[in-house]
Amino acid sequence: MTVSCSDISSAMRWRSSCGPPLLLLLSFLTLLVGRETVSGFRICSYNVEKLNIDKASNYRLVQTLSRVVYRCDICLLQDVVDPDGRVVKKLLSAINRESHRYGNYVYESVSSKGLGQSAGDKRKFVFLYRKETVTMMDQHQYETTPPTFARGPLAVQFKSRTTMMKDFILVPVHTDPLKAVQEIDNLYNVFQEVSEKWDNENVMFLGDFQAGCAYMTRPNKKKIRLFTNLNFTWLIGDKVDTTVSEETTCAYDRIVVHGKSFLKAIIPMSAMVYDFGKELKLSMSKVRDMSDHYPLEVELKSSALVKSSALLLKATPLLILLCASAFVHFFL
C-alpha cells in the first residue's frame, strides 16, 4: 500500500484542526466529572463493642477509630457505654484535634439516652457527623409500652448540603440476638411513626440487626415486613460477612432503605464492609481489639455529580458535531 504526500498532509491537517478542541473538551469533562465522583457523601455504621471510658482513653484505639470515622460524613456508633457523656466528649475531642490531617472537617454528635432493659447495662446510639456537609434537624426516641426493643431506636432527621437527596432519616438498629426476628419486624412500626412525624419516607435503617446465621434464618424472612414489603431494599446481602472472626461468616450488620427515591440517590454497589485492618495494615488482633464487627458504609450521590453528568449529556451533541465536522473536513 502506497501512502501519498497528500494523504499525509490531509491527516496532519485533520489532527491540527480537530485534535486540540476535542482533547480540550474531553479533558475538561473528564476532570469535571472525575473530580465530583471522588467527593461522595458516605454514611457509615459501626458496632464498636462496649466503647467505654477505658477504650476511649486508649490512644491507639482512638486513633484507629478516628480514621474510620473520618471516612464518613455521618457515622453511627453502636454499643457505646457512656453514662455521663465523657466517652463521646473524649472521642470528639480526639477526632477534631487532628482534623487538619484528614480534611479539616469538624464533627458534632447526637446521642440517645442509655438504652437497655437492665439498669446496669445501658448502651447508647451515637451519630457523629460533619457540620460542614450535614445538619441534624430533629431527633425522635421510639418508645412503646411494653417495650418492643431491647434498645429503642433513636431516629434522626438529617439535611445534607451536598447530596442529590437533601432530607433523609437514619434509624439505628442493635437488636437483642434472641429476639432479632421480632425486633427487625417491629422496625416497620418505627418506619410508620417517623415517616408520618416528619412527612418523609426517605428512611434508612442501619446497624447490628443480628440478621444472620442462627439468629435469622431464611424461613424467618416470611415473618419480617422489611422483607415481605418490596418497598424496602436490603443493601447488604445475606452472604456478606460483617464479622471479624475467621470462625464465623455472618451478615449480622445491615443497611436497609425505603423507597425508590432513596435507592436512586445511592451510588450503585457502594454499600459494603470496610476492612480497615487491611487498609491500615493492622494485625487481626488489633482489629479485634476494636470490635468483633467490621464497619459498614454506603455512599449517596452528590448534587454536583448529578449536575456534571447533566453537563456531560448536554455536551455530547457538541462533541458529535465536532467529530462530524472534522470527518467532513478530512475528506474535503
- What are 76's strand-pairing partners? 45, 127
Q: What is the distance between the alpha carbons of residues 285 and 299, in angstroms, rounded to a whole number? A: 29
Backbone angles phi, psi at 12, to 5 degrees: -65, -40
- pLDDT at site 89: 97
421510639: which residue's cell? 142
Nearest to 262 by CA among 123, 152, 147, 160: 160
Q: What angle do CA 309, 311, 316 make, to 5 degrees?
A: 95
Model confidence at 44, pLDDT cuts 50, 70, 90, reads very high
Q: Is the model more confident about 104 or about 229?
A: 229
64 contact partners, CB below 8 Å, separation of at least 6: 276, 280, 282, 286, 290
CATH numeric code, 40-301: 3.60.10.10
Model pLDDT, residue 324: 58
Per-residue pLDDT averaged across 40-57, rounded?
96
**Residue type for position 33:** V
pLDDT more than 90, % of the chain: 75
Instruction: Check if the beta carbon of residue 170 is closer than 8 Å to that of residue 190.
Output: no
* Lowest mean pLDDT across 16-25, 177-186, 190-199, 267-276: 16-25
Domain layout of the chain by residue ranges: 40-301
For residues 153 and 175, what is the distance between their CA atoms, to the nearest angstrom?
Answer: 10
Tens digit of each residue's pLDDT (9 = 90 or more) over 141-157 = 999 999 999 999 999 99
Q: Select, from the ranges 7-16, 37-46, 222-231, 305-314, the one with the highest average predicted confidence (pLDDT).
A: 222-231
Give the 3-state DSSP-derived string for 249-299, with helices as H, strands as E and coil as C. Answer: CCCCEEEEEECHHHHHCECCCCCEECCHHHHHCCCHHHHHHHCCECCEEEE
Asked if the model's pLDDT at residue 306 lies above 50, the reply is no
Residues 6 or more apart whose CB falls under 8 angstroms from that of 164 comprise 265, 300, 301, 302, 303, 305, 306
Beta pairing class for 107-111 and 296-300: unpaired
pLDDT band, residue 103 (cuts 50/70/90)? confident
Q: Greater confidence, 107 or 317?
A: 107
Query: What pLDDT does residue 119 have?
Result: 82
**pLDDT of 140 higher than 50:** yes
Helix, strand, coil % over all residues of the chain, rounded to 5: 45, 25, 30
Stated length of the chain: 332
Average pLDDT, the chain: 86
Percent of the chain with pLDDT over 70: 80
270 confidence band (pLDDT: 50, 70, 90): very high
